[in-house]
């Protein structure tokens, strides 16, 4: 049996009854978290512009779109909703591998609604989406040297959307393999190394398109289109198409029961690139333990991985909220001014002169050994040091952010509170409670 067929058979064979109870509960929480990000992000201007475009193309369908005037077909609904999720940068995280849920959970919701799928079906599809896409990403992870030249997330996470849609449609292994071959032709390129220039690209990781591509690939397979059924196999397999220089196929065929990727997914307590979160944690800890604020600081130093210094330390003041999400000094200034990014960023804050003054006190530099820990162990090492005007020097070090399985806890109660904080201002408490209970 080919590698691609082995993977397709694993997906086809997954049954809700085989999913451990704790994994099912984690998946429900991940779906709830995704919904909160989707609702709050739907009012963002970048989300609105894409949604308006898609509404003009779509004659109407079965799937709900937050912020839209009508329902849309599943490909466009998932496209629009995924863009909403990503704009606040509060969606789930797997360090060095992006935000896996956003590449397929909108697909689970849109296709599931169109098919009138039950809760067990949604959980099955969500599990398969996480496990398949993350196994592919881990198996084709490039060397650190190659990663500096070619990197992308949606380019392989798109297979999560295909997997989830295929599972909801109850496709056979043979049809799933064919859909995978079609997916490769719809996949976004590994764009990330051209992402961090300013202004930032509004499509971010292009997760909206990844959802649409996965659904479209499955729809075509159902319609009788044929795709390459060996897309993951051999020296010309998807690993090299996606720009990697190495491939470990054993990761792809590790039984789901032997390694639960779902349990490795982290929740994000703050808006902003996940790479900034250990810095935010350190600032919050120093402020809480030492009664110091921005008015009594001479300067702040941030020592961290070279990659973060290069990509998240723009000396250009952010013009948009999106730019601000990838600017560590700006995010730390928000914390110092009591404007935590926990519920998203504000356009109004971009004009506050006192924030700009605080940002001017913050500098970033490379921390010896941090780059190796980032690439080898997916850590986010940082040392934040406050130099106070009264002579105190206050320092904190962290490697894993809050909400990471190895970091400070961000428990179920806090994830639920995050959902209500994001959703209630836009849909009201009653509707938010209905979604939470459903």
Local confidence band at 295 (pLDDT 50, 70, 90 cut-offs): confident
Residues 146 and 193 in one domain: yes
Q: Which domain holds residue 331?
A: 274-408
The average pLDDT across 42-55 equals 95
* Cα–Cα distance measured from residue 33 to residue 105, given in angstroms and rounded to the nearest whole number: 11
Write down which residue in 221, 236, 264 finishes a domain. 264
Q: Is residue 427 part of a domain?
A: no
The average pLDDT across 312-330 equals 92
* Cα–Cα distance measured from residue 199 to residue 195, given in angstroms and rounded to the nearest whole number: 9
CA triplet 238, 14, 179: central angle to 5 degrees? 35
* Cα–Cα distance measured from residue 116 to residue 96, given in angstroms and rounded to the nearest whole number: 35
The average pLDDT across 117-121 equals 97
Q: Which CATH number is 247's domain given?
A: 1.10.4100.10
CA triplet 268, 270, 272: central angle to 5 degrees? 100
CB neighbours of residue 377 within 10 Å:
13
* Cα–Cα distance measured from residue 16 to residue 422, given in angstroms and rounded to the nearest whole number: 30
* Cα–Cα distance measured from residue 420 to residue 393, given in angstroms and rounded to the nearest whole number: 38
Tell me the pLDDT tens digit for each residue of 232-265: 999 999 999 999 999 999 999 999 999 999 999 9
Residues 387 and 241 in one domain: no
Local confidence band at 196 (pLDDT 50, 70, 90 cut-offs): confident
Q: Is residue 78 part of a domain?
A: yes
Residues 75 and 193 in one domain: yes
Does the pLDDT of residue 105 top 80, yes or no? yes
Residues 185 and 310 in one domain: no
CA-based R_g, the chain, Å:
21
Does the pLDDT of residue 199 top 90, yes or no? no
Does the pLDDT of residue 438 top 80, yes or no? no
H-assigned helices in 268-368: 277-290, 306-311, 321-325, 328-336, 353-359
Residues 245 and 333 in one domain: no
Stated pTM of the model: 0.96
Q: Is residue 436 part of a domain?
A: no
Tell me the pLDDT tens digit for each residue of 358-405: 999 999 999 999 999 999 999 999 999 999 999 999 999 999 999 999
The average pLDDT across 66-94 equals 97
Residues 101 and 248 in one domain: yes
The average pLDDT across 210-239 equals 98
Write down which residue in 208, 231, 264 finishes a domain. 264
CB neighbours of residue 408 within 10 Å:
15
Residues 227 and 294 in one domain: no
Q: Is residue 431 part of a domain?
A: no
Q: Which of 35, 72, 42 is nearest to 56 (CA)?
A: 72
User: Per DSSP, what are the bridge partners of residue 387?
Assistant: 299, 393
Q: Is residue 108 part of a domain?
A: yes
Could you tell me if 94 and 77 are in contact, meaning their C-beta atoms sit under 8 angstroms apart? no
Residues 109 and 131 in one domain: yes
Domain count, the chain: 2
Residue 291, pLDDT score: 86
Q: Which of 241, 279, 235 is nearest to 395 (CA)?
A: 279
Residues 205 and 231 in one domain: yes
Q: Is residue 417 part of a domain?
A: no
CA distances 140 to 192, 211, 280, 329, Å, are 16, 20, 31, 33
Residues 310 and 331 in one domain: yes
Q: Which CATH number is 327's domain given?
A: 3.30.1330.120
Residue 293, pLDDT score: 81
Write down which residue in 236, 264, 292 finishes a domain. 264
Average model confidence (pLDDT) for the chain? 96
Could you tell me if 206 and 83 are in contact, meaning their C-beta atoms sit under 8 angstroms apart? no
Q: Is residue 416 part of a domain?
A: no
Residue 315, pLDDT score: 80
* Cα–Cα distance measured from residue 239 to residue 258, given in angstroms and rounded to the nearest whole number: 23
Tell me the pLDDT tens digit for each residue of 412-431: 999 999 999 999 999 999 99
Could you tell me if 44 and 87 are in contact, meaning their C-beta atoms sit under 8 angstroms apart? yes
Residue 314, pLDDT score: 81
Enter the tokens of residue 416.
């639920």
Q: Is residue 421 part of a domain?
A: no
Residues 181 and 89 in one domain: yes
- Could you check whether the bond before residue 199 is cis, i.e. omega within 30 degrees of 0? yes
Residues 198 and 77 in one domain: yes
């Amino acid at each position: 049996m080919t590698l691609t067929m082995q993977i397709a058979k694993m997906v086809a064979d997954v049954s809700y009854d085989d999913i451990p109870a704790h994994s099912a509960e984690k998946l429900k929480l991940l779906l709830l978290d995704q919904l909160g990000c989707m609702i709050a992000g739907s009012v963002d201007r970048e989300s609105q512009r894409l949604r308006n475009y898609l509404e003009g193309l779509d004659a109407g369908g079965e799937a709900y779109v937050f912020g839209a005037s009508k329902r849309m077909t599943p490909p466009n609904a998932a496209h629009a909703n995924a863009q909403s999720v990503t704009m606040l940068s509060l969606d789930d995280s797997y360090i060095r591998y992006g935000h896996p849920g956003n590449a397929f959970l909108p697909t689970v919701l849109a296709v599931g609604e169109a098919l009138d799928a039950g809760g067990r079906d949604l959980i099955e599809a969500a599990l398969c989406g996480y496990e398949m896409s993350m196994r592919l990403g881990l198996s084709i992870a490039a060397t650190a040297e190659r990663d500096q030249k070619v990197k992308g997330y949606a380019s392989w996470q798109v297979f999560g959307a295909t997997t989830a849609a295929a599972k909801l449609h109850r496709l056979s292994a043979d049809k799933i393999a064919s859909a995978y071959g079609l997916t490769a032709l719809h996949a976004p390129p590994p764009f990330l190394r051209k992402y961090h220039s300013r202004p930032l690209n509004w499509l971010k990781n292009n997760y909206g398109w990844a959802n649409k591509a996965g659904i479209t690939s499955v729809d075509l397979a159902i319609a009788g289109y044929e795709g390459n059924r060996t897309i993951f196999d051999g020296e010309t397999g998807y690993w090299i198409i996606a720009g990697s220089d190495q491939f470990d196929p054993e990761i792809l065929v590790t039984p789901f029961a032997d390694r639960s990727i779902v349990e490795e997914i982290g929740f994000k307590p703050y808006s902003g690139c996940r790479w900034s979160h250990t810095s935010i944690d350190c600032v919050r800890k120093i402020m809480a333990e030492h009664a110091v604020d921005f008015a009594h600081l001479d300067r702040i130093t941030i020592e961290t991985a070279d990659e973060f210094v290069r990509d998240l330390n723009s000396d250009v003041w952010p013009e948009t909220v999106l730019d601000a999400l990838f600017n560590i000094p700006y995010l730390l200034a928000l914390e110092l001014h009591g404007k935590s990014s926990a519920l998203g960023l504000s356009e109004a804050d971009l004009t506050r002169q006192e924030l700009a003054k605080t940002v001017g006190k913050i500098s970033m530099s490379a921390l010896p050994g941090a780059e190796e820990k980032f690439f080898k162990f997916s850590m986010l090492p940082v040392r934040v040091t406050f130099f106070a005007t009264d002579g105190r020097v206050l320092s904190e070090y962290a490697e894993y952010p809050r909400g990471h399985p190895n970091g400070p806890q961000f428990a179920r109660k806090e994830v639920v509170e995050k959902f209500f904080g994001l959703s209630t201002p836009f849909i009201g408490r009653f509707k938010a409670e209905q979604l939470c209970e459903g």
